[in-house]
Amino acid sequence: MLSFLQILTLFSLIIPLYSSPTPLHFIKRHSFHKNAINSQPQQYFQVTRPLPFDSLNTSCTLPIVTHNFSNTYGLPPVSVPYSPPLNCPWTDVVLEIQVSCQGEQYDRIAGVWLSGRELIRTSTAEPTEDGIFWVVRKDVTRYSSLLAQENLTLSMMLENIVNDYFTGVYQVNVTFLYYDTSPHPAPAPATAPAPDPDSFDPLIVIPGEDEFYYRTSRKLKSVEYPLSFEVNYEKGSFELYDRPADLILPISSSGIDGFWFRIQNESDIHSKRVEIPPNTYRAVIEVFSSAHGDDEFWYSNPPDAYLLNVEAKESGSKRGHGAYREVLVKIDGDLVGSVVPFPVIFTGGINPLFWEPVVGIGAFDLPSYDLELTPFLGLLLDGKPHSFTFEVADGISFWLVDANLHLWLDAGLMEVQACIGSSEPEFTLERESKFDGLGGKFEVEAERKAKISGWMNMAAGYFTTSFEQKVKLENTVKYYNNGLSKLVEQKVKDKSEFTIKSGNGEVIFYTSTKREYPLKLNTVTLPGREENTYQMTTKLETSIEEKKTVGESSSTLKDRQECNGWMLVKDHDVLSGGAYTHQNYSFKDAANCYSRIVVAENGAVLGDSSSLLCVHSL
């Protein structure tokens, strides 16, 4: 996304605009779509799998926001009160966002929060003269404990600019859909096992400048638990851990300009102090992040030294600082986990014609990243507030980062006792840069390994916990043909494992996530016939492969896009062009398979086939 300042430069033209080979963010001009066959608004979509309850009728629906986001830049989010619907049994919840837009507009970033906890990070598609619309549906059941609470505030932020030049207003409806998937007759809503209200004062939230304190009155009675307390040793799974959290705390900003922290550079550190209830037995931090401005295409940024070289000759680009980024999460100044985010490409990115009407992977529902903090409970359970900090290693302006802290509470105890064991962090970062004039090759290799163990004593017994994370990034940015051609190749691998063992060493819970997301981008730029125009021919291959294991069940996701196209560009405006996008999506878990292949060319869907059959090659 462009920052406001960058947009201003479009008008002033005092500062030269990004010239070849750096411009990667564009807008489609009306002249471009003049000859389109369509005159009806067109539906855009992100390829995903159906949700398990798509075929069910809702128990109830709650339309919550209807808003036209026009000139909202710098304004606070739209906020409305939220309470769950009355007399409506539910077990699962979907957040649905419907958007329509007509005119000329850049893609914009948006977020929805419930009392400061982010439910979804989404971005918009760039509209056309005939108009476009789309629907995003996200399963938000993991926020059930929050969604069951009354008198919360739902906020939505979508920073848009509308003027003579950018005319597209985003018309948005946000609706909660509640489903009851329990075997009938329906039991109470999915908030179990909640503390007995008679023995537990509700948590009191005291919002301060940048702090939330959670006060628990220690009135909880000690309850004798039957030995079988939700622990199923035979199946080798610890079912207690496989349900939505009991409490979700926001690790986010005050909300004046969105609840995300705006991280401007590598030394721009944002913190929030949080105190967690003493009976917490599991903690997971869910991190949301998106890269914008000069870092929107961070994985293709050359080192500053090369940029200075280019800048001296022709360009005003600040998209530099090399191509390694990592979102770091620290508690009281110590690193507890990190995320190398999947490179989500927004609909104005690289070649906007790639993303009509199929948007890039994650563009309508940006992935969030879970980091296990349970082994750190020994540090967090001292009844004191702790400082949670976000940084972006090597980051430049700007990143939007915040997180939800998911906590599971032991209803049988006032206090869980926990202790941190050994920790073995390792980090290596190697860079190699070679350049001569506008040609050059830049390589980065970063690897982080962390292993932490701990133990805890809770109602169900004594357990040891261990968390292991390994993140590896390999990136090459190459300029050739006097800087007019650029090749970016990136590989990211992320593996994390969390194990709980009983007192006698038996594994009672295991979960792991393995992700790989390679990206390959090849761009050739040629000067156009008219002044200030150039033609870019681009090939992009991007994919995500994810394997998740919880206990004995696992799921595999493979999602791959291959795009080819060209465009004639003046400044940031696409004047003409053609593009082809091919996407393969497949998902498999113990119960289901789903695969879908979509082919789009020049804004039209040429093929879209899906199947529920399981293919063995997965």
Ligand X SMILES: *[C@@H]1O[C@H](CO)[C@@H](O)[C@H](O)[C@H]1NC(C)=O
Chain centre to alpha carbon of residue 554: 22
| 447 contributes a contact to ligand X by CB under 6 A | no
User: Which residues pair with residue 401 across a beta bridge?
Assistant: 261, 289
Q: Specify the residue, 472 or 547, whose C-beta has the smaller distance to ligand X.
A: 547
Q: Specify the residue, 180 or 468, whose C-beta has the smaller distance to ligand X.
A: 180
Where in 78-107 is the site for ligand X (CB under 6 A)? 98-100
CB of 582 to ligand X, least distance (A): 4
Q: Specify the residue, 388 or 399, whose C-beta has the smaller distance to ligand X.
A: 399
Q: Specify the residue, 522 or 576, whose C-beta has the smaller distance to ligand X.
A: 522
Q: Specify the residue, 314 or 516, whose C-beta has the smaller distance to ligand X.
A: 516
CB of 175 to ligand X, least distance (A): 8
Q: How far apart, in whole angstroms, are the C-alpha atoms of residue 350 and residue 522?
A: 10
Q: Specify the residue, 40 or 267, whose C-beta has the smaller distance to ligand X.
A: 267
Q: How far apart, in whole angstroms, are the C-alpha atoms of residue 325 and residue 535?
A: 30
The DSSP element (H or E) to which 110 belongs, if any, is strand 109-114
Q: Specify the residue, 32 or 178, whose C-beta has the smaller distance to ligand X.
A: 178
The DSSP element (H or E) to which 72 belongs, if any, is none
CB of 115 to ligand X, least distance (A): 12
Work out the angle at residue 116's Cα, subtended by the Cα atoms of residues 368 and 141, and round it to the nearest 5 degrees.
55
Q: How far apart, in whole angstroms, are the C-alpha atoms of residue 547 and residue 513?
A: 6
Q: Specify the residue, 66 or 217, whose C-beta has the smaller distance to ligand X.
A: 66
Q: What is the dihedral of CA 40, 45, 50, 51, to 10 degrees?
A: -100
3-state class (DSSP) for residue 354: helix
Q: Specify the residue, 358 or 450, whose C-beta has the smaller distance to ligand X.
A: 358
> Of residues 584, 593, 602, 610, which one binds ligand X by CB under 6 A?
584
Q: Specify the residue, 22 or 102, whose C-beta has the smaller distance to ligand X.
A: 102
CB of 398 to ligand X, least distance (A): 9
Tell me the helices (H) and strands (E) count for the chain, helix number first.
Answer: 5, 33
| 480 contributes a contact to ligand X by CB under 6 A | no
| 609 contributes a contact to ligand X by CB under 6 A | no
Tally of CB atoms within 10 A around 589: 15
| 68 contributes a contact to ligand X by CB under 6 A | yes
> Of residues 470, 520, 548, 560, which one binds ligand X by CB under 6 A?
560
CB of 581 to ligand X, least distance (A): 9
What residues contact 250, with CB distance under 8 A and at least 6 apart? 113, 115, 116, 117, 118, 212, 259, 272, 402, 404, 405
CB of 545 to ligand X, least distance (A): 11
| 150 contributes a contact to ligand X by CB under 6 A | yes
Q: How far apart, in whole angstroms, are the C-alpha atoms of residue 340 and residue 545?
A: 14
> Of residues 562, 571, 573, 589, which one binds ligand X by CB under 6 A?
562
Segment contacting ligand X by CB under 6 A, of 63-71, 384-392, 452-460, 510-518: 63-71
Q: Specify the residue, 97 or 450, whose C-beta has the smaller distance to ligand X.
A: 97
> Of residues 171, 502, 522, 576, which one binds ligand X by CB under 6 A?
171
| 151 contributes a contact to ligand X by CB under 6 A | yes
Secondary structure (DSSP) of 378-421: HHH-SSS-EEEEEEEET--S-EEEEEEEEEEE-TT-S--EEEEE
Q: Give start and end residues of each alpha helix (H) in 55-183.
A: 144-147
CB of 98 to ligand X, least distance (A): 3
| 182 contributes a contact to ligand X by CB under 6 A | no
CB of 262 to ligand X, least distance (A): 8
CB of 168 to ligand X, least distance (A): 12
| 580 contributes a contact to ligand X by CB under 6 A | no
Where in 275-334 is the site for ligand X (CB under 6 A)? none
What residues contact 505, with CB distance under 8 A and at least 6 apart? none
The DSSP element (H or E) to which 311 belongs, if any, is helix 304-313
> Of residues 173, 182, 254, 537, which one binds ligand X by CB under 6 A?
173
Q: Specify the residue, 173 or 387, whose C-beta has the smaller distance to ligand X.
A: 173
State in Å, rounded, how far the first CA of the chain is from the last one. Answer: 35
Chain centre to alpha carbon of residue 298: 16
Q: Specify the residue, 282 or 588, whose C-beta has the smaller distance to ligand X.
A: 588
Site mask for ligand X (CB under 6 A), range 251-270, x = bound: -------------xx-xx--
The tokens for 455 are 């133990």
| 66 contributes a contact to ligand X by CB under 6 A | yes
Q: Specify the residue, 345 or 418, whose C-beta has the smaller distance to ligand X.
A: 345
| 512 contributes a contact to ligand X by CB under 6 A | no
Amino acid at 331: I
| 133 contributes a contact to ligand X by CB under 6 A | yes
CB pairs under 8 A, 24+ apart, for 232-239?
Answer: 233/502, 233/506, 233/508, 235/551, 235/552, 236/507, 236/508, 236/510, 236/551, 236/552, 237/508, 237/509, 237/550, 237/551, 237/552, 238/500, 238/508, 238/509, 238/551
Q: Residues 103, 28: contact at Cβ < 8 Å?
A: no
The residue whose two tokens read 């409970």 is 377
Q: Specify the residue, 316 or 439, whose C-beta has the smaller distance to ligand X.
A: 316
User: Which residues pair with residue 388 across a beta bridge?
Assistant: 272, 331
Helix, strand, coil tally for the chain in percent (to 5): 10, 50, 40
User: Which residues pair with residue 491 across a beta bridge?
Assistant: 474
Where in 43-62 is the site for ligand X (CB under 6 A)? 56-57
Total site size for ligand X, rule CB under 6 A: 22
Residues in contact with ligand X by the rule CB under 6 A:
56-57, 66-68, 98-100, 133, 150-151, 171, 173, 264-265, 267-268, 560, 562, 582, 584, 597
